[in-house]
Structures are given as C-alpha cells and as structure tokens.
Chains A and B, each alone.
Chain A
Amino acid sequence: MLRVTIARSIRAMSSAAPASAPDSDASVRKIGRALETYLKHSQQHVAMMEKHRAEFETGKRHLAKMMGLEVHELDQEAIDRAIQYLFPSGLTDPHARPVMRPPDEILPKFQRFTFDEEGRPEGSRFFTLSPKIYGLMSEIGVKTQSVMKFYDEHVGSRSVNRKDLEPANLSGSQWITADKMKKKLSEKFSPELYAQIIIAFEHLASLPGSAIEQNFLMEFREPMTASTGSKLFGPAIPEVQICAETNRRFAEVTTHCKDTRAVVKVTDAGKGKFNVDGLELHDFRHLQSREILLAPMIISKTLGRFDVFATTSSISASLPEAPNREPIQRSGGMSALPRAVRHGAALCIAALHPEATEPLRLAGLLTLDPRKKERSKVNQPGARAKWIWKRR
C-alpha cells in the first residue's frame, strides 16, 4: 500500500457510498477488477445472444422459402421436419444430429450471481461452490447436536412429554429424490453430496429425541402412498360406475393371463354370485379354480357382497394369423382362466371398496402376470427343445 491517506484508500477500494460518487466513470473504476470482468462478460453474453437470435430469425425465413412455406407457418415442429429432410443423418445419437432451435434453448447459459455494490458475492458459504446444499448439511449437523443435547438433558426427567424423547415418526414417507431436492434448493449438486445428505438425515432421524425436529424432517420427505396408485403393473384400478337400471355401483376392467383375455364386471350389493362364461362357481370342478376365483373376496373380507360377471376369450384367436392356420377357439383352462378373472375382480373390488386396495396390492392380486407362452423356433420342435442330433 503506497502512501495514501486512509480515506483515499477506502475510496479507491470500494463504492460503499454510491450516492456520493460524483460521476459515473469513477464508480465504474471503483468496483474492482473481478466485478468489472464479470459485467463485461455479462454484456458480451447479452450481445452474443442478441446476434444469435437475429440469425435464427433470418435462418427461419430462408428455411421457409426453401420449403415453400410462409414464415408464420413454420413452427418448431415444421423446422425439425425440414432439418431432418434437408440434412438426413444416420447418426444414432439424437444429440449428434443437426438441429435448428432458438439460441436460448441450445446455447450454454450464463451463470448469474448476486453481488452487492462492492462486488462481494452473496452468502457466507459462497466459496464452497454449493452453498445451499452445504448450508442444509450444516443445518442438519447443528440440529443433530441440539437433539443429542436435548435428549441427554431430559432423559429420565418428567418435565418433558415422553413422546418427545422418541425417534421421529417417519412411517409411510420417504426422502425426496435428488431431483426434487435440487428443485427445492434451486441448486445443482453431485450424487455423492445427495448421498451424504441422506446419510445425515437418516442419522438425525434415528436419534432418540429427534421427534422435536419432526417438522423439519417432514419438509424433506414425501408420502410413500403416492407410488401405489400410479405404479401398478398392468391395467389401472377402474372408475366406479352406476348402473342406470338397478342403481347399483359397478366397475369393469379388461385384463389377461397367458392367452386368456377376460372382461370382468363386478357389481356391488350383490349376493356373491359368479358368472364366468355362463358358468357358476360350483361348475368349476377343480378346487384350485374355486380357490383362485374366491381369493380377492377372501383377502378383502367381502365374501358374499359382490357379484362377478366375466366373459373370456382367446387372445391369439383374435390376432391376424396366417390364413392356413386354424385359430384356437378356446380360452384358458382350470388355472389361467380363473387367474385372469381373479385379476379383473381384484381391480374392480379395489375400485368399489378402496380400503381393500392395500391388502390386495400386498397380496399381489393387483399386479398383472405378464408371462406368455414362448414362441417355438424355426427348425426346432419347441421354444427351447431341439431335434435329436447324432453324428452318424
């Protein structure tokens, strides 16, 4: 520092009092090289984007002329089609193919920071490069310490609620995913950091006394039940309808098992009757079939409440086949046919009687069985079996 008075050196290093700045030149000079460079880059970026936007508009007009279209007819879909036509590309990776999109979508974004008038970046953890996530991590750490202290001070005493000395109740919920965490904190971070955060959260939640931080923990958890409705494998739970004639609630769903397709209609306020292709329950001679058909009612504890009406057909019979092949007319046998009906009935019961959804799901009755007969291969007697081969 050269010989200057303190007041002068302060003025030279900052512009803490912008109102007192006599002219704009001086204030620009004051803000320091780093901020100056940042502002310069920012201005350059804005100018570059302007240029590219103008180029894009011109290019669009040229493209419209080439394709014999009006400019206003050329939306993004039309541009994509035109580019695909004009520049046919055999590259497999879609990102490697030629594109024409607005520059704001494809050019790298300029990182914007918040500075104060002296060029100091905002936030005390700025130099950790991920200030938000490390801030959250510190918050968890501080809370962990306070929970441990709280427990040590109050264990065995009657002054606090006993429930407060237990671990937090997190049943029925799960930690929010990395993507949701990124959105919540509006910051990008690596999977390792996410794993660290989850470990820290798990540790905090496992401590006795973490019940006092229940609200904080629940901010970063989401209900687990959301996954049941949307993530059913196979057909979804149908909508409940009301029969106009009898005024009874019913639900209808189409499902399949092996080669058997079943259209099942379950009606509420019935007598527990079955009608499967005109057959009643006692017409199924085999005990296995009867057990399968009754399984959804047994699990949902609604025996005798619902009437089941089902029609079955063969899937392969309805498919277009080679003309000389004789179509198979019959649907499934004593196992596959009742199983197809069972899946449909379970879905309908879940719709009519929602309390039974979770037991039915846990019993696996709402999940489609996707297995199919494997096709036989050419020059082989079956799917896997081979003709006997002998050298001589």
Chain B
Amino acid sequence: MRRVVTTAIRAERAFSSRISALQKPTSSSSPLTPDRATLEKGTVQPTVLKPFVSASLQHEDLFNFEKLVHVDEMFKARLHYGHKVGTVNDNMKWALYGERLGVCIFDLDITKKYLVRALNFVAHVAMRGGMIMFVTSNRDTMFDVENAAEEVGQYSHVRKWQSGTLTNTRQLLGASVRLPDAVCFFSTLTSLGENHPAIVEAAKMAIPTIGVVDSNSDPAYLTYLVPANDDTPQSIEYLLRMFKEAVRKGHEERIRLQQGK
C-alpha cells in the first residue's frame, strides 16, 4: 500500500515539474504573437504558426495517458473486433490489422496511438474549462454514456437529434447559449447506417469532434479518430472509463492551477 502511495506521489511531482517547465517560454527570441504576414501565410500553411503555439499544447502526451492505456486491456474489452469484411469502409483500412473468420480486426497499436491522442485532447479541453458533449445513437449503451457524462459534469446527447441543435440554437432555445467545446461520438453511425447528423453540424460550427469509428464507419468530418469496436457494451465501457479519466485529470489540473495561482 505504501509503495503505491509513494509511486503516486512521485508521478504527481514529475507531472507538476513537467507542467511548470512547459509554462516557461522555451525561447525568448520569438515574439508572443505572430505578425500579420505570418498570419496570412498561416492561412495557407498552418505549420508556420507552430512556434507560436504554447509548449504545453505541442506536447504529445502531457497527461501521461501512455501509461493508462494498455493493449491487453483493450484486447480484453474487445476493442479489436470490427465488422464483416464486406462492410469495410475504404477510409478505415489504415487502422486494420487484418481479417479473421471474415471479420475485420483492428491493429490495437494504431488504436492505442490514436486513443492517447484523443484522450490528451479531451484532458486539454477539460483543463481549460471546456464543455464536452458525449453522443451516441446506440440503444444498448445510451444509459452508460449518459451516466458517464453526468459523473464527470459534462453533457450527453443520446436521443433523437433535432436538426439545428448546434447551428440554430437561437431559434430552438429562444436565446444564444454557449455551445460545447468538443463533441465525443461513441458511435458515429445511426441505426440506418448513416452518419450521425451532429457530425456535420459540429463541423459547420468548427467544434472539434472525437469519434470512435468502427470498420464500417465513415471517418469524414471527424477531428480525432479512435478506430475501435463501437457496438459491444464492454468496449464502450472501457472507452467511457478512459474518457472519464481524461476529463477528471484535466479538471484536477485545472483546479490545481487555479489554487496555485
């Protein structure tokens, strides 16, 4: 027990020291804001703006999710199962390892890489006090998704999508409201096999999206992809646990930064 506590404390210290190191400007020579010419160039070639982005955002895995996500756990949670080979989407072939008994199998190393990236993004949004909306259209997992969102104080939408919920809030709600800062899809397809209407709406409103995409899903318009099985309750349970943990980590960091200020 004591050992566990000490390792936790050590990890905590390492994390805070890394954050404080990143908070300092890496090079004092480059200015804080880009000049007009650079901005104009950035509209065509966004990479020129990279030196102006803060170091914490440039870090690949600031919250150390690499340690949290394990391939064997993902395997046990059945994240590797795709759909029948015949239904595969051409744009999802990059994430596949191969095929077994006519069923697509995801490469969990690729899945891990993308999952860590998505979790890092979610934690960053939570750290900055952003609103995250969990969306699914799967009836088997809708209550789990709702509960998960409620547990971490975020938003959920598992019901019929009223078109214009994001694009036309003024009309539907009678007032402009703050929209979610990130939308997280736990299944991107509706029961009819069409893309969830919220994907396009989020893209129109420039809201970044995270999508758990199965082998038959269309990854278009999604910002962060997590190639994994989206139909099995166990796999959604695992992914929800991961995303909840990411939100919690981001939130804890936010509280600590506010108190330490």
B57 at the interface (CB under 8 A from A): yes
Residue of A with least CB distance to B130? A13
Cα of A128 to Cα of B133 in the assembled complex, Å: 11
- Residues of B within 8 A of A (CB-CB), count: 48
Query: What is the minimal beta-carbon distance from A199 to any residue of chain B, in angstroms?
Result: 14
Query: What is the minimal beta-carbon distance from A241 to any residue of chain B, in angstroms?
Result: 56
Contacts of B158 in A (CB 8 A): 128, 138
Number of cross-chain contacts by CB at 8 Å: 115
1/0 per residue, CB under 8 A from A, across B42-63: the answer is 0000000001111011000000
B138 at the interface (CB under 8 A from A): no
Of A115-123, A324-332, A361-369, the segment with at least 4 beta carbons within 8 Å of chain B is A115-123
> A124 is contacted by which of B156, B177, B178, B254 (Cβ under 8 Å)?
B156
Query: What is the minimal beta-carbon distance from B17 to any residue of chain A, in angstroms?
Result: 14
1/0 per residue, CB under 8 A from A, across B135-149: the answer is 000000011001001
What interface size band does chain A fall in?
Answer: 35 or more
Which residues of chain A from 1 to 54 have any CB-CB distance to chain B below 8 Å in the complex? 1-7, 9-10, 13-14, 16-17, 20, 32, 34-35, 37-38, 41-42
Are the C-beta atoms of A119 and B54 separated by less than 8 Å?
no
A284 at the interface (CB under 8 A from B): no
Given contacts A1-B54, A3-B33, A119-B178, contact A10 B257 (CB under 8 A): yes
A113 at the interface (CB under 8 A from B): yes
Given contacts A3-B52, A5-B23, A129-B162, contact A14 B146 (CB under 8 A): no
Are the C-beta atoms of A6 and B258 separated by less than 8 Å?
no
B242 at the interface (CB under 8 A from A): no
Given contacts A10-B129, A125-B156, contact A41 B176 (CB under 8 A): yes
> A125 is contacted by which of B127, B129, B146 (Cβ under 8 Å)?
B146
> A35 is contacted by which of B23, B34, B178, B257 (Cβ under 8 Å)?
B178
Are the C-beta atoms of B165 and A120 separated by less than 8 Å?
no
Are the C-beta atoms of A127 and B175 separated by less than 8 Å?
no
A85 at the interface (CB under 8 A from B): no
B153 at the interface (CB under 8 A from A): yes
A-B contact pairs, 26 of them (CB 8 A): A1-B53, A2-B32, A2-B54, A3-B32, A4-B32, A5-B23, A5-B25, A6-B127, A6-B257, A7-B23, A7-B257, A14-B128, A17-B261, A20-B261, A34-B176, A35-B178, A37-B176, A111-B175, A113-B173, A113-B175, A125-B155, A126-B155, A128-B158, A134-B159, A138-B143, A142-B143
Nearest first, the 8 closest Cβ-Cβ pairs linking A and B are A111-B174, A34-B178, A14-B129, A119-B178, A37-B176, A124-B150, A3-B52, A5-B23
Given A124-B146, A125-B146, A128-B158, 12 more A-B residue pairs with CB atoms under 8 Å apart are A7-B23, A9-B128, A13-B129, A16-B129, A34-B178, A115-B178, A121-B177, A124-B155, A127-B157, A129-B162, A129-B173, A137-B159
